[in-house]
Structure formats: structure tokens, C-alpha cells
Amino acid sequence: MSARTLRGRVAVAGIGETTYYKHGKAPDAEFKLALQAILAAAEDAGIDAREIDGFASYSNDRNDPSRLAAALGTRELRFSNMQWGGGGGGGAAAVGNAAAAVATGIADCVVVFRALAQGQFVRFGQGPQTKTISGNKAYEVPYGMMSPGQQYAMKVMRFMYNNGVKQDALRAIAMASYHHAQANPRAVMHGRPLDEATYDASRWIVEPFHLFDCCMENDGAAALILVPAERAKDLKQKPSYLLAAAGGSHHRCGAPSHNDPIYATSNFTTVAPNLYDMAKITAKDVDVLQCYENFTGGVLMSLVEHGFFPAEAANDFLKPENLYAQGGKLPLNTSGGNLAECYMHGLELQIEAVRQLRGQSTSQVAKVDVSMVVAGPMVTPVSSCIFGSEATL
């Protein structure tokens, strides 16, 4: 049974991304953006893109692997995978799916990708436009619960009330992301710093979320290439080894119409223990964290459920200086994250996690051996993954 693990068997060999744009502003078609990111990842790895024999994605990406393979000229398509459900919560699970294919010999070189061109297709943040309402929505829309912000705010408000968490904690998370974005020229919010007064004066979207607690909407594409660990040592970049990937949710997490038995949760209560068990580490070993901000409240609950501090310590721990790359207790979202770098449904967080291990981040943490990613708090299923240096193996 001990052999049933991904730990150390697969490595990220290449990372790539396009320019990130405000939603609807990409000059290229979504398919072309996906190809650009994949080609950039192949170049970063120092491999021929025609060697790619597998594709993995999530959040219902529209770019068909067979079409991508044809455009890239790949020699053979051996693996084609879509993480089902959870939207952005599938970001780390897609990496796990790709890694499982590589570790078991189903494929040898798998790319994980995500692409968005909202000018070409419907805008995600606008929500579905329908004439009729059925299912869960029939119990929510008549009461004004129509957007993700409205749905998730209720969970976060309950968590904050139960544990005495102040608004300052959410503000600290937002400020950390914007702080790091100022050092990152790729970030959409580069050159647009955030201070406490600006955060406090910003309009409410839905309490407890101010404007700056909410993720952006963007166009672009991102990609990671995974190969067997032994091959990664011979390639262009320093390998980032996958120590663990875990996805899922707790018992009856998907119960309809807010009947989840654990209400004030980001849905990592069972995922996090499985993650650490595979990685053979604890939260204390994590040097830098990229945590998906659909809303800052999801980050708050995710940090607690991944064991970085107990809920009652949130006000003391969540100070901006504790989250900065320069000397922080837990450097958080060091490229700017979904709030200030780009909302590529979280795949840009995986790229930043790898950059930190390589020593290539624009907000580099001094010494990184363990780099972690949390994907899609409050959706279901959710997922997390952990990358490590060679020293962790």
C-alpha cells in the first residue's frame, strides 16, 4: 500500500503563460492563447512541444485536447482529462490527474492548461442568463441569492461571527496580494497599490466583501508540463517535484440549497489531512503558500482548515507583515494572486508555486523547499497540492 503515492514521482519541467488581460480584452482567440501558453511551457522546459502526449484541464475549459494536439503536431495523444466539477476548485486536482497519468505510465509528458477569452465567449462573472429557474437556484434566487459572492458571503459571515474574526483579517489578505503585485510586471494590478484607507473606503459588494476582497476577471492562458521525476533532472529547469495532490470534499458537502452539515467551511476539512499524509509534512513545513482568492473569506477559512493557525488566532496572525514574502511568517500569494495578478481560474498560482522553488519569483522568499497551492475554497470539490525541492525527497 505504501507504493500508492504520487510523492516525488513526477516533476514540473516547464511553465508558461500569455500576457494577462482584463476580461474581454485579449487580442487573440482562446484556442490561440492556450497554444501560446503551452508552447511557452515547452520552451521553458527545453523540450519539443511535439513530445507532449497528454492534456489535463478543469473548469470546463473549451479547448479540446485532440485539436490542441493537432495544432501542436504532437506525435501521439495518450491522455485526455477534464477535472469534473468545482470550477476553480479543480486547479490542483488537474495537476494531480496529470501526475497520476505520468506516474503510472499512461503518458510521459502531460500539460495542464487553462485558457480564457471572455470577449469571444460569455463573461464568467456575469452569471448565466436564463428565462427559467430550477434545482438549487429555485430555492435561492427568489431570496436574492444570485451570485457566488452572495452565496459564499453567508458562509464567511457565519465563520467570522462564530470565531470573532474582524474585517481587518480580510483586509490583510487583500493587501498582501496587492503588495506583491507591485513587484510583478505581469500582474494586471501592477502599478495600482492598495492601502488600508482605500480598502476601507471601497464599496461593499456583499458584506463582508468589499470590492478588493473579490477576484478579478481576466483573459489569457497558463500551462505547466509534467514529466517523470527521473527525466526532469536532465531538462532545462530546476525540477519542482510533486509531493502531494488531494481533492474532494467532506460528507454531504454538495447537499443542495445550503444544507451542508458543515456550513462555515471552505470544504478542506477532509482534503487537507489527505494532502499532508501523502506529502509527509505538516503545515509548519510550508515555506510559501498560494491560496485561491475567489473571495478573501475563502482564504481565511482555507488557512485554518489547512492548519496554519486556529480560527481563534486569525486576528493575530492575519496581519499584512505576516503575509509578505520579505520576512513574513507565511508568505501568501506572492505574484499577486487572483486578486491582483490574474484570475486564470487559479492556474497562475501553480506557476508561482513553481517559480518560488526555482528562485524566480518577483517576490522571492529567501529559502523555499516546500511550496503549496490551495484551489477554489468554498466550491465542491476543492483541491490542494504541494511541490518540493530535491531536498524534500
Name the 3-class secondary structure at 162: helix
Q: Where are the beta strands (DSSP E) in the chain?
A: 10-17, 21-22, 54-57, 79-82, 110-116, 204-206, 209-210, 218-228, 240-248, 288-291, 370-375, 382-388
Which residues, 6 or more positions from 310, have their beta carbon under 8 angstroms from its beta carbon?
A: 304
SS3 204: strand
Phi–psi pair at 262, nearest 5 degrees: -110, 100
The question of whether 139 is a catalytic residue gets the answer: no
Start-to-end Cα distance in the chain: 19
Among the options 21, 241, 276, 292, which is catalytic?
Answer: 292
Residues 6+ apart with CB under 8 A from 152: 294, 295, 297, 298, 378
Count Cβ atoms below 10 Å from residue 231 Cβ, excluding itself. Answer: 16
Q: Which residues contact 130 (CB under 8 A, 6 or more apart)?
A: none
The answer to whether 328 and 285 have CB atoms below 8 angstroms apart is: no
Query: Residue 131 corresponds to which cell in the numbers above?
Result: 428565462
The identity of residue 374, as a single letter, is V
Catalytic residue list contains 343 = yes
Enzyme catalytic residues: 292, 343
